[in-house]
Amino acid sequence: MKKLLYILTAAVLLCTALLAGCGQSSQSGTAKKDDGSFRIVTSFYPVYIATANITRGVDGVEVVNMTKPQTGCLHDYQLTTDDMKALDSADAFVANGAGMEAFLDKVIKEHSGMKVIDASRGIELLKDEEGENPHVWLSITDAIRQVENIADQLSEADPKHADAYKANAAAYTDKLKALQGRLHAQLDSLPHRDIVTFHEAFPYFAKEFNLNIVKVIEREPGTEPTPSELQETIEEVNKLPVRVLFTEPQYSPSAAETISRETGAKIYSLDPVVTGEADDSALDAYITTMEKNAAVLQEALK
């Protein structure tokens, strides 16, 4: 009888342990924490900056940027094993949206219990022959919309911290509005407004500050232009009253250097704010980088 009782007790304990383990597992198969904390993973640097400002100083909330500091725009990005591990333990995933993350459907399918936040929800997208342009954060107006979108959707996912998210978002958007005013003061009176950019990152910026992108050097970063495309760009640059080219620090300037040799155009750099460290320096990274971009344009187009 004692032996039977021992066996029954052991069986009950085993079943209890198995049920507890099942209750702690996420749908992706990794154990979820149960300490009241909230873990947010962001897709890449621009949305990390916004999310870090929204969650600044909020106890129990952790923000991790999924991609490495040197990762640029996510045009052809493939998820790594480390990325999937980061997502396994996330409560929310913040994506730029607008087609930037081609892998987003896979994330949603494999992490159906995780809140996916679309930072570009409701933003009017610019289109060209290649389709919709996802680089919305380079318009300060749209960057403000993204901050509001992230704060609203985070508040739905984590109502415990909703008031803090919204207060932080309001404080950060005030800074962005002040930045917007400073940049308009610098750029609205530029005598020359035609520019040649490196790739299709800056149409939203150009729209906001009334600049005219007459040509892009590479449609897709890392894809060298064909000889005929190079010749077309050279011809356009030769027509400009001020011959300048704008590269991006994340990519090789070799094609721009070829055009520069043929036209005498001077090369400057505009930063699309896609790379940087995911630490406290990120809090002001968007503002300081956009200020540097304005100073570059002011110098180049004066």
Query: Domain extents for the chain?
Result: 38-178, 183-300
Please state, in angstroms and rounded to a whole number, the distance separating the CA atoms of residues 134 and 39.
Answer: 25
pTM score over 0.85: yes
Amino acid type, 73:
C
Both structure tokens of 13: 């304990």
Mean pLDDT on 171-185: 98
Both structure tokens of 156: 């739905």
Scanning the structure block, which residue is given the tokens 């064909």? 226
Helices (DSSP H) in the chain: which residue ranges? 2-24, 45-54, 81-88, 104-110, 140-157, 162-187, 203-208, 227-239, 254-263, 285-300
User: What HEC string does 220-256 produce?
Assistant: CCCCCCCHHHHHHHHHHHHHCCCCEEEECCCCCCHHH
- What pLDDT, in 10s, does the model give residues 62-108? 999 999 998 989 988 999 999 999 999 999 999 999 999 999 999 99
The reply to whether 183-300 shares the fold of 38-178 is yes
pLDDT band at 8 (very low <50, low <70, confident <90, very high): very low
The domain made up of 183-300 has a fold known as: Rossmann fold (3.40.50)
Burial 129-152 (b: 16+ CB within 10 A, else e): eeeebbbbbbbbebbbbbbbbbbe
Cβ atoms of 234 and 256 closer than 8 Å: no
Please state, in angstroms and rounded to a whole number, the distance separating the CA atoms of residues 51 and 208.
Answer: 23
- What pLDDT, in 10s, does the model give residues 98-135? 999 999 999 999 998 999 999 999 999 999 888 999 99
pLDDT band at 202 (very low <50, low <70, confident <90, very high): very high
pLDDT of residue 32: 46
DSSP summary character for residue 38: E
- What pLDDT, in 10s, does the model give residues 209-257? 999 999 999 987 778 899 999 999 999 999 999 999 999 999 999 999 9
- Whether residue 2 has pLDDT greater than 60: no
The CATH code for residues 38-178 is: 3.40.50.1980
Phi-psi sector, 102: left (phi>0), alpha (psi -120 to 50), beta = alpha
Read off φ and ψ for residue 287, nearest 5 degrees.
-65, -45
Cβ-based neighbour number of residue 67 at 10 Å: 22
Amino acid type, 1:
M
- Average pLDDT taken over every residue of the chain: 89
